[in-house]
Amino acid sequence: MGTPGERKALLFLGAVIVMGGSVRVARAVGGKPDVDPAARAAIEKQIAAVDSARKHGSKKGKGRRAKRPEVIVPAVIDMDVASADEIETLRGIGPTLARRIVADRDSLGPFGSLDQLKRVKGVGPKVAARIDSSVTFSLLPRPSSTESSGSSDPPPGRRRPRRGERKN
pTM to 2 decimal places: 0.44
Alpha carbon distance 117, 66 (integer Å): 29
**61: pLDDT strictly greater than 80:** no
**133: pLDDT strictly greater than 80:** yes
97 versus 146: the higher-pLDDT residue is 97
Q: How confident is the model at residue 161 (pLDDT cuts 50, 70, 90)?
A: low
Q: What is the mean pLDDT of the chain?
A: 79
Alpha carbon distance 55, 130 (integer Å): 41
The proportion of the chain whose per-residue pLDDT surpasses 70, expressed as a percent, equals: 70
User: pLDDT value at position 51?
Assistant: 86
Return the SS3 of 115.
helix
**120: pLDDT strictly greater than 50:** yes
User: pLDDT value at position 71?
Assistant: 59
Sorted by sequence, the CB contacts under 8 Å of residue 1 that are 6+ apart come out as: 7
